[in-house]
């Protein structure tokens, strides 16, 4: 039985009739076609999707939704449709029973439709049970069913009008109701049921999801007012760190487990003996026998591949739809050429073109959304994996990278993966697009297309060479791994060598020399950038010209090979549209291949493959012991500790003593499992608390630093604070223990940091305490208080096991056991009396230093805190004018507290507490969910408000950038842009005129002339690309040099209040943006703008009627763009503000990994890091959705332009040539992408130009005095005598604070040795800062050899005075570089200096001698050795005036004695000023200056001052000297 007889028994109703459809002026479909195809299509669609959709719902249960009115309405309508279908079937059977013959279609189609409606109703309920608010499958079904029914309804109307009688069915009279019910169901399906759980996009309907309408509410909020963090939605659970990171860690562990790199023994051990790995546990323990490496790429594919495959499906559909546009263009040109074709065909083509472009838009944006979400998850996973790895790598592995380089993995490399993931599909998509384009071109032009293929083949090696050379330059520019590579990235250099040691640079007047070193590195980078710019210009040339050259060669061969080949509009513009499609894949493929992901992948793989700490280094046991222990810092090093045998009794106090470098701190590290155990066994019983030698302080409140994540127990907390002598500090802190501590404890003194570190350990209440010299930075009475109240036999820790490394000999008699260490071995053990009785090395040691053990607290501890804290809390008022009211309150509070003493009266105390409460209120107004930023909470909160209030980037910033490029070069670049685009328009217009040439005798005349002019107009690209790129490099050089100079000219107060992360960000991220991003964005912005203007001009010339529609579409475009930008900029700034805490926390964690591991707090810190990453992604996710929201709407505007261009061309076909129409529509097809790209580039330009603004900010900050003054240069050899005269001198730290020191009148003769002493806050350090003009005098003057230092250039002054600072700052680099950075001395002089500094033996024993690499901050040297290096610097420099600022605060007694003896002999004829930490070191000085409350209290010889029994006598008595 044929299809015709299936529809009608007599065959009178054919399935298809061309005369009724395509060839009719009013087309209609046959009754048979309507009863079969239009009924079966929606049925087949639903039955095809149903099995897969049912399985999806079964495995993705989102929760139960209660029956709602919406769901009831959908169910009722579904049943009504089902009833109508079955009524139609019964009606057909009834008619048959009445003797009326009915064709089979009247039984089969309603039955099939009825069963389908029943299935649809079932799915409606099943979706509700599974928690689906809105279904795309069902929406598509109802839309298809509605459209099919609409066609049938129109047909019935036409038949009624034409009075055609046909056999009807039961549904025919009710067709209008049927249509209305299906339309209602389609509308209801677009609505969303109430969600079972609140989440970002999960509650949105299907239509809202595909158009991204669900984010409109957030964008409206951002348009009305600045967005805040509370306006953002929570992340979807599948995007959060707690779900994403463990997946990558598991896949990486799996990859490592089965990598050939892992030995069979390790593998079997990992599989059998080890417990299941936690995500924070070992990621990889590597063996070095084989060469094969685990693949990070495979681990990433296993983790994110399944979700990312969805994007590949979208991409395939999009790529196919791309070629629909040129084919419809072909049909439209054919329609214009065929005057007999009915108009409805033109309208049909126009509608089809509009629908296809809209579908293409929705699919493309879904593709990008999946890619960006994948990239977001990938970044989250990489950041989490790097963080977890950083907590477990060994110290040897840690030394292979600086902190900056490890942070670089998080910031730069993770970002590169995010950027690449969007275009990674081009690896297979580009060849597919090329193949499809060539296929359609062959159909259009035949074998002539081979000429274009030949050009493309020739361009491939050109693009490949450009890509490879660009990659080479990028690797050279970006790879920071090799520390000895002089071209390493500037941000690593700046962070390691300038920002961390800025105070040393200023005190030694090294800024200019270091600036020159940085400038050399910068110039090498700019040379690479310039080469990259030239390659970029060639790349741009090929980008623009490759499709044109392909088109030119193809057209030339086509018209020249045969005179009968006519280049008409259809062939020319369809081919041109296909060539335009070719442009993207031809150029994107080499760019993707040459991307930097391979370098980033390698860096990440190397880091994740680092050796990890062996958890078996320390075994839990019933005792604390080391048996036959031998330990080193890495597997390849010689043992640092050897033959260690020690048993520590439970509950005892064990003291560890020894000289500098004897291995005391290493012994504690061995007990913690921080060292590589070469031999022996280590056991420890119970939980451990650790106090490192250099206190590690978190950027959190003082209370949180002490509590350290434990449960708050108020009574215990108060006991700990009192025992650790912190109560006086709480009195002076602005908000007591709620005071926010800055980055690295910047607003605490050294003594305060050490006591907070000790309080943290005590509060944690553990079984074992490992204390690495916690009393070194506190004075005698505080040290005694802490020992008695905390560490000693009657302290809070009595009954706990305490291992105390100490230089304080007075505490040793109370120790239960003393370990004496020499050269990494324990030479003596026993109690104090036992060791004294042996009369061995320990007894000699005690006799030598019996009277020198007491120490005094770090200088001006509370006073210096106040000043540092005030600086930290005082941002530059020019940047943050809205903070000034807060600062006035804070200044009142600070100035009040700076005068509070222990004997404060009751009234003053109440006033101070009032100020405390006021600051507490300030600090507690807007909680940040415990995410700590790099400066105090109330400042960072208002910084966020400040950033959000900057809604527009000032035009002055663009003007500054143009000036940095050069006004002339900027104008030339714009002119060249204009010339290029005018030439491009001219070439295409010329092509349209060519295609309209009449055909005479089967050929076109003047084709050679047409071809030659077409070719000449097309090639004019190279110049503008070069000019923009070179202009960008000139701007980079100027802006970087200006910023570097301005930063180095800033006073120390600027660095104390500016977090180092901000400065590093300026020199790395912002500078990189100016280097690489802004020039390319500027080129793309200008190109997009001229493309849009050119396209609009062509469309207006071709179809002037479009002028009616372009203004409203332009207004809509402008409104959408501004509406988007208002919110987008705020989202980007929210994301930027929330990104810094991620890196700050990671940087902080890297500095404190040993403490975190000792306390067993890895999981808490991992959770904290994950929370900060999620907070950052919570701002990033809306920004990528907002991008898609914008793209959908802008592309809709572009699609409307395409539709109206085609529509008006159809209307005006009688007055329009095919060539002009083809030109108009081909430009219209491009305008969608150009519009979208224009908005994106304008937004990117506006966002990234902020980098110029931020770089220029530092030009407006306060500056130090001039470095050199030509008219006031000192004479050669000044100072000759070292005579210092201080007259009525006073200074203050800020203009709104009182004088820190005042009315100082002192005359120091040349060659005198003067000690400067005083209680906490007396002003000792302030006087030193005044001498070096780190802080300028507020009153009075200082004269050196009769010259007023205020009238000198800063470098002229600081280069003639030498200081040994309290904190021994070393730079990462060779030991020689640290002693003589600029090779001003010979090796013999350096070795002689090392001998005088008692370092010659140590350096001689190093494998590389003077070329020994110092780790960042000198971490691979002990604190005492670092201090001796600083002494060597002073000896090498040797000037007439030497200042020692607590230079021996943290060294042992022997090292102190060495330093003092060297100073006495080598600086015998120099003036020496010593801020005394140990009073015994200045007892033989000429005179002593005693300061009290910022004023001179006493000034005389030590003997005279002791005789007077004044302040100096009391201090000497406290120290046990009298």
Q: Return the pLDDT at 154.
A: 78
> 1103-1135 burial, b if ≥16 CB within 10 A, otherwise e?
beebeebbeebeeebeebbebbbbbbbbbbbbb
Q: Return the pLDDT at 351.
A: 92
Segment 326-361, tens digit of pLDDT: 888 888 888 888 877 888 888 999 999 999 999 999
Q: Tell me the torsion sign for CA atoms 453, 455, 456, 461.
A: positive
Q: Return the pLDDT at 479.
A: 46
Q: Is 936 a residue whose pLDDT tops 60?
A: no
Distance of CA 309 to the CA centre of its chain: 26
Contact 1062, 872 (CB under 8 A): no
Take residue 1215 and report the two structure tokens written for it: 């007055």
> Minimum mean pLDDT among 331-335, 943-947, 1021-1025, 1510-1514: which range?
943-947
**Between 719 and 1445, where is the model more confident?**
719
> Minimum mean pLDDT among 361-375, 920-934, 1069-1083: which range?
920-934
Q: Is 633 a residue whose pLDDT tops 90?
A: no
Segment 1230-1279, tens digit of pLDDT: 777 777 778 778 777 877 787 887 787 777 778 888 888 877 788 888 88
Which SS3 state, helix, strand or coil, does residue 1474 take? strand
The confidence band for 419, taking pLDDT boundaries of 50, 70 and 90, is confident
Segment 869-910, tens digit of pLDDT: 333 333 333 333 333 333 333 333 333 333 333 333 333 333
**DSSP codes joined into one string, 1326-1337:** HHHHHHTTSS--
Beta bridge partners of 1373: 1414
Q: Is 363 a residue whose pLDDT tops 90?
A: yes
Q: Is 461 a residue whose pLDDT tops 60?
A: yes
Segment 1393-1431, tens digit of pLDDT: 888 888 888 888 888 888 888 876 777 787 778 888 888
Of 853-857, 1017-1021, 1057-1061, 1462-1466, which one has max mean pLDDT?
A: 1462-1466
Phi then psi for 826, rounded to 5 degrees?
-90, 110
Q: Return the pLDDT at 887.
A: 36
Distance of CA 836 to the CA centre of its chain: 59
Q: Which helix (H) or strand (E) holds 803?
A: strand 801-805
Q: What is the dihedral of CA 155, 158, 164, 167, to 10 degrees?
A: 20
Task: Average the pLDDT over 653-681 and give the result.
Answer: 87
Distance of CA 430 to the CA centre of its chain: 30
Contact 1049, 1258 (CB under 8 A): no
**For residue 907, what are the CA distances in angstroms to 126, 653, 897, 913, 1376?**
74, 44, 13, 10, 58
Q: Is 56 a residue whose pLDDT tops 50?
A: yes
DSSP 8-state secondary structure symbol assigned to residue 1066: I
Sheet of strand 619-620: strand arrangement: 619-620, 676-684, 624-632, 641-648
DSSP 8-state secondary structure symbol assigned to residue 1073: I
The confidence band for 866, taking pLDDT boundaries of 50, 70 and 90, is very low
Q: Is 1075 a residue whose pLDDT tops 80?
A: no
Q: Return the pLDDT at 873.
A: 36
Strands 1362-1364 and 1441-1445, sheet pairing: parallel
Q: Is 927 a residue whose pLDDT tops 50?
A: no
Task: Average the pLDDT over 989-993 and give the result.
Answer: 75
Segment 74-123, tens digit of pLDDT: 777 777 777 777 777 777 777 666 666 677 777 788 888 888 888 888 88
The confidence band for 59, taking pLDDT boundaries of 50, 70 and 90, is confident
Decide: pTM greater than 0.75: no
Q: Return the pLDDT at 377.
A: 92
Which of 1081, 973, 1077 minimizes the C-alpha distance to 1028?
A: 973
- Find the DSSP H helices in 324-342: 324-337
Q: Return the pLDDT at 200.
A: 52
Contact 323, 434 (CB under 8 A): no
Contact 485, 587 (CB under 8 A): no
Q: Tell me the torsion sign for CA atoms 140, 146, 149, 155.
A: negative
Which of 933, 382, 511, 533 minimizes the C-alpha distance to 699?
A: 933
- Spatial distance between the Cα atoms of 1392 and 1462, rounded to a whole number of angstroms: 13
Task: Average the pLDDT over 1029-1034 and give the result.
Answer: 77
Segment 1321-1360, tens digit of pLDDT: 678 888 888 898 888 888 999 999 888 888 888 888 888 8
Of 269-278, 805-814, 1050-1059, 1302-1311, which one has max mean pLDDT?
A: 1302-1311
Q: Is 316 a residue whose pLDDT tops 90?
A: yes
The confidence band for 690, taking pLDDT boundaries of 50, 70 and 90, is very high
- Spatial distance between the Cα atoms of 1304 and 712, rounded to a whole number of angstroms: 47
Which of 339, 308, 513 minimizes the C-alpha distance to 427?
A: 308
Which of 234, 591, 241, 610 minimizes the C-alpha distance to 414?
A: 241
**Between 512 and 188, where is the model more confident?**
512
Q: How many other CB atoms are found less than 10 A from the CB of residue 891? A: 18
Q: Tell me the torsion sign for CA atoms 340, 344, 345, 347.
A: positive
- Spatial distance between the Cα atoms of 1020 and 541, rounded to a whole number of angstroms: 9
Strands 1487-1492 and 1313-1318, sheet pairing: parallel
Q: Return the pLDDT at 636.
A: 80
Task: Average the pLDDT over 943-968 and give the result.
Answer: 62
Q: Return the pLDDT at 850.
A: 53
Share the mean pLDDT of the chain. 76
The confidence band for 61, taking pLDDT boundaries of 50, 70 and 90, is confident
Q: In which region does residue 725 sit, left (phi positive, over 0), alpha (psi from -120 to 50) or beta (all else)? A: left
Which residue has tokens 């591949």? 305
**DSSP codes joined into one string, 891-931:** HHHHHHHTT--TT--HHHHHHHHHHHHHHHHHHHSS--TT-
Which SS3 state, helix, strand or coil, does residue 1142 take? helix
Percent residues over pLDDT 90 in the chain = 7
Which of 979, 1364, 934, 940 minimizes the C-alpha distance to 1147?
A: 934
Q: Return the pLDDT at 929.
A: 36
Total residue length of the chain: 1522
Phi then psi for 1492, rounded to 5 degrees?
-150, 125
- Spatial distance between the Cα atoms of 295 and 1387, rounded to a whole number of angstroms: 47
Which residue has tokens 């209602």? 184
Segment 575-605, tens digit of pLDDT: 888 887 877 787 677 667 655 567 778 888 8
Q: Which helix (H) or strand (E) holds 1339?
A: strand 1339-1344
């Amino acid at each position: 039985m044929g299809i015709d007889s299936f529809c009608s028994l007599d065959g009178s109703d054919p399935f298809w009739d061309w005369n009724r459809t395509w060839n009719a002026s009013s087309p209609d479909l046959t009754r048979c076609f309507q009863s079969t195809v239009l009924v079966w299509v929606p049925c087949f669609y639903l039955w095809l999707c149903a099995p897969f959709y049912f399985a999806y719902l079964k495995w993705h249960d989102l929760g139960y939704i209660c029956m709602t009115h919406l769901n009831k309405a959908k169910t009722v309508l579904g049943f009504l449709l089902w009833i109508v279908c079955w009524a139609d079937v019964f009606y057909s059977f009834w008619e048959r029973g009445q003797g009326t013959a009915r064709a089979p279609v009247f039984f089969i189609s309603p039955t099939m439709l009825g069963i389908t409606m029943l299935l649809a109703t079932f799915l409606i309920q099943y979706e509700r049970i599974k928690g689906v608010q809105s279904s795309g499958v069902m929406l598509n079904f109802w839309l298809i069913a509605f459209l099919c029914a609409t066609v049938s309804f129109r047909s019935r109307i036409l038949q009624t009008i034409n009075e055609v009688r046909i056999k009807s069915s039961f549904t025919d009279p009710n067709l209008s109701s049927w249509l209305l019910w299906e339309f209602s169901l389609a509308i209801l399906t677009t609505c969303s049921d109430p969600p079972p759980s609140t989440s970002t996009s999960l509650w949105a309907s299907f239509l809202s999801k595909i158009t991204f309408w669900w984010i409109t509410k957030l964008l409206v909020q951002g348009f009305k007012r600045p967005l805040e963090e509370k306006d953002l939605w929570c992340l979807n659970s599948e995007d959060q760190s707690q779900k994403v990171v463990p997946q990558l860690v598991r896949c990486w562990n799996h990859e490592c487990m089965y990598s050939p790199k892992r030995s069979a023994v390790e593998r079997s051990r990992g599989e059998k003996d080890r417990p299941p790995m936690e995500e924070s546990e070992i990621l990889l323990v590597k063996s070095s026998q084989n060469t094969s490496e685990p693949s990070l790429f495979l681990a990433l594919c296993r983790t994110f591949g399944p979700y990312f495959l969805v994007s590949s499906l979208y991409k395939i559909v999009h790529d196919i739809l791309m070629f629909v546009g040129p084919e419809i263009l072909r049909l439209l040109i054919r329609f214009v050429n065929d005057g007999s074709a009915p108009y409805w065909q033109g309208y049909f083509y126009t509608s089809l073109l509009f629908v296809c472009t809209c579908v293409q838009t929705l699919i493309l944006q879904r593709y990008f959304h999946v890619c960006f979400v994948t990239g977001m998850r990938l970044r989250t996973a990489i950041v989490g994996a790097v963080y977890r790895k950083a907590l477990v790598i060994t110290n040897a592995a840690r030394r292979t990278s600086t902190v900056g380089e490890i942070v670089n993995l998080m910031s730069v490399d993770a970002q590169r993966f995010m950027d690449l993931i969007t275009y990674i599909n081009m690896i297979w998509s580009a060849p597919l697009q090329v193949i499809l384009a060539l296929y359609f071109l062959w159909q259009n032009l035949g074998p002539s297309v081979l000429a274009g293929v030949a050009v493309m083949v020739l361009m491939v090696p050109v693009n490949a060479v450009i890509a490879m050379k660009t990659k080479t330059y990028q690797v050279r520019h970006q790879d920071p791994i090799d520390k000895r590579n002089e071209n390493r990235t500037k941000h690593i250099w700046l962070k390691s060598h300038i920002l961390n040691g800025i105070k040393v640079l200023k005190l030694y007047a090294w800024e200019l020399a270091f600036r020159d070193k940085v400038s050399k590195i910068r110039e090498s980078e700019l040379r690479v950038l310039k080469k990259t710019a030239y390659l970029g210009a060639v790349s741009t040339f090929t980008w623009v010209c490759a499709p044109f050259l392909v088109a030119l060669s193809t057209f030339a061969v086509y018209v020249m090979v045969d005179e009968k080949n006519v280049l008409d509009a259809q062939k020319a513009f369809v081919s041109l549209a296909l060539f335009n499609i070719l442009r993207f894949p031809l150029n994107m493929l080499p760019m993707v291949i040459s991307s930097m992901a391979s370098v980033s992948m390698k860096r990440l793989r190397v880091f994740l493959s680092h050796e990890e700490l062996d958890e078996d280094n320390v075994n839990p046991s019933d005792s604390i012991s080391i048996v036959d222990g031998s330990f080193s810092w890495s597997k390849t090093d010689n043992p640092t500790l050897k033959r260690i045998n020690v048993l520590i009794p439970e509950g005892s106090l064990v003291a560890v003593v020894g000289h500098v470098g004897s291995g005391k701190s290493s012994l504690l590290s061995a007990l913690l499992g921080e060292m590589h155990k070469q031999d022996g066994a280590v056991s420890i019983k119970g939980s451990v608390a650790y106090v490192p030698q250099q206190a590690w302080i978190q950027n959190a409140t003082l209370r949180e630093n002490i509590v350290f994540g434990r449960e708050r127990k108020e009574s215990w907390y108060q006991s700990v604070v009192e025992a650790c002598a912190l109560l006086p500090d709480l009195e002076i802190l602005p908000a007591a223990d709620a005071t926010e501590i800055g980055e690295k404890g910047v607003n605490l003194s050294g003594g305060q940091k050490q006591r907070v570190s000790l309080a943290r350990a005590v509060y944690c209440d553990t079984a074992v305490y490992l204390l690495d010299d916690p009393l070194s930075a506190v004075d005698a009475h505080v040290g005694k208080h802490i020992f008695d109240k905390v560490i000693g036999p009657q302290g809070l820790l009595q009954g706990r096991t305490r291992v105390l490394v100490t230089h304080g000999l007075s505490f040793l008699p109370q120790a239960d056991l003393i370990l004496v260490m020499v050269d990494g071995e324990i030479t003596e053990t026993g109690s104090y009396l036992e060791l004294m009785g042996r009369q061995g090395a320990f007894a000699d040691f005690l006799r030598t230093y019996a009277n020198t053990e007491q120490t005094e607290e770090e200088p001006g501890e509370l006073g210096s805190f106040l000043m540092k804290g005030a600086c930290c809390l005082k941002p530059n008022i020019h940047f943050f004018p809205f903070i000034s009211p807060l600062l006035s309150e804070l200044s009142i509070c600070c100035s009040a507290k700076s005068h509070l003493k222990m004997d404060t009266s009751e009234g003053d105390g109440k006033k101070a507490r009032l100020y405390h409460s006021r600051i507490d209120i300030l600090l507690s107004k807007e909680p940040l969910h415990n995410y700590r930023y790099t400066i105090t909470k109330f400042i960072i909160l208002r910084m966020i408000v400040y950033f959000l209030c900057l809604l527009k980037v000032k035009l002055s910033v663009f003007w500054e950038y143009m000036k940095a490029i050069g006004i002339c070069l900027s104008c030339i670049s714009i002119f060249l842009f204009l010339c290029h685009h005018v030439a491009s328009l001219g070439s295409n217009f010329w092509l349209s005129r060519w295609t309209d040439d009449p055909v005479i005798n089967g050929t076109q005349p003047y084709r050679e002339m047409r071809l030659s002019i077409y070719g000449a107009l097309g090639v004019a690209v190279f110049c503008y690309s070069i000019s923009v790129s070179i202009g960008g490099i000139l701007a980079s050089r100027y802006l970087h040099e200006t910023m570097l100079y301005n930063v180095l000219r800033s006073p120390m107060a600027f660095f104390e209040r500016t977090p180092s992360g901000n400065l590093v960000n300026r020199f790395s991220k912002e500078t990189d943006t100016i280097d690489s991003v802004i020039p390319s964005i500027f080129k793309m912005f200008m190109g997009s703008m001229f493309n849009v203007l050119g396209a609009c001009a062509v469309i207006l010339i071709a179809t002037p009627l479009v002028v009616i529609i372009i203004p409203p579409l332009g207004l809509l475009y402008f409104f959408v763009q501004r509406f988007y930008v208002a919110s987008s900029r705020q989202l980007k700034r929210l994301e930027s503000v929330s990104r810094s805490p991620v890196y700050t926390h990671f940087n902080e964690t890297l500095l404190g990994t040993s403490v975190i591991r000792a306390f067993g707090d890895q999981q808490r810190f991992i959770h904290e890091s994950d929370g900060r990453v999620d907070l950052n992604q919570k701002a990033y996710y809306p920004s990528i959705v907002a991008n898609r929201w914008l793209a959908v709407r802008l592309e809709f505007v572009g699609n409307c332009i395409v539709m109206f261009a085609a529509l008006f061309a159809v209307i005006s076909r009688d007055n329009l040539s095919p060539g002009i129409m083809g030109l108009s529509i081909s430009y219209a097809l491009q305008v969608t992408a150009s519009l979208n790209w224009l908005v994106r580039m304008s937004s990117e330009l506006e966002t990234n130009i902020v980098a110029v603004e931020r770089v220029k900010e530092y030009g407006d900050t306060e500056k130090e005095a001039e470095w050199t003054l030509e008219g006031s240069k000192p004479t050669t050899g000044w100072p000759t005598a070292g005579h210092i005269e201080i007259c009525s001198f006073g200074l203050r730290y800020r203009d709104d604070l009182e004088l820190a020191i005042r009315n100082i009148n002192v005359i120091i003769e040349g060659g005198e040795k003067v000690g400067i002493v005083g209680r906490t806050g007396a002003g000792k350090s302030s006087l030193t800062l005044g001498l070096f003009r780190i802080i300028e005098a507020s009153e009075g003057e200082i004269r050196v050899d009769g010259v007023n230092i205020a009238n000198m250039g800063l470098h002229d002054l600081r280069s003639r005075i030498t200081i040994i600072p309290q904190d021994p700052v070393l730079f990462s680099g060779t030991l020689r570089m640290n002693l003589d950075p600029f090779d001003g001395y010979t090796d013999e002089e350096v070795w002689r200096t090392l001998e005088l500094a008692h370092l010659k033996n140590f350096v001689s024993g190093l494998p590389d001698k003077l070329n020994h690499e110092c780790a960042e901050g000198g971490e691979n040297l002990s604190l005492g050795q670092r201090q001796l290096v600083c002494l060597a610097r002073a000896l090498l420099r040797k000037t007439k005036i030497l200042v020692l600022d607590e230079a021996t605060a943290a060294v042992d007694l022997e090292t102190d004695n060495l330093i003092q003896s060297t100073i006495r002999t080598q600086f015998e004829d120099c003036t020496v000023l010593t801020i005394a930490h140990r009073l015994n070191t200045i007892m033989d000085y000429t005179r002593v200056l005693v300061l009290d409350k910022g004023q001179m209290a006493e000034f005389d010889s030590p003997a005279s001052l002791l005789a007077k029994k004044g302040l100096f006598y009391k201090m000497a008595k406290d120290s046990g000297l009298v």
